[in-house]
């Protein structure tokens, strides 16, 4: 359950460099967890930082990779502005 004072930010990396940077952030997390299903067709990897109230996820379905962050009040003033250039925008 995500607390009501947390936000979710979807990120579709615009370049391979952005993708690699986000994947490295997850891989370097000491709390990293990874799972795969359907012979690797569906995969997810995440890490969390309870002190900063922050999680970072990668959900991969076939050839679609999407990152998302959950951000708590302690990181709410910093993280959203860092994602401003790469955060997914609703096309509507």
Helix (H) / strand (E) element for 48: namely: strand 42-49
Surface-to-core class of residue 5, CB atoms within 10 Å of its CB (0-12 exposed, 13-18 middle, 19+ buried)? exposed
Residue 57 is inside which H or E element, if any?
strand 54-61
Dihedral, CA of residue 52, residue 76, residue 21 and residue 48, to nearest 10: 30
Distance of CA 57 to the CA centre of its chain: 4
**8-54: per-residue pLDDT in tens?**
999 988 889 988 999 999 999 899 999 999 998 999 999 999 999 99
Residue 92 pLDDT more than 80? no
pTM assigned to the model: 0.82
């Amino acid at each position: 359950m995500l607390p009501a004072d947390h936000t979710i930010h979807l990120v579709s990396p615009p370049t391979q460099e952005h993708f690699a940077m986000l994947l490295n952030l997850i891989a370097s997390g000491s709390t990293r967890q990874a799972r795969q299903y359907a012979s690797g067709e569906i995969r997810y990897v995440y890490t969390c930082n309870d002190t900063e109230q922050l999680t970072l996820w990668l959900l991969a379905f076939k050839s679609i990779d999407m990152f998302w962050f959950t951000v708590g009040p302690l990181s709410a003033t910093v993280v959203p502005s860092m994602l401003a250039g790469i955060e997914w925008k609703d096309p509507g």
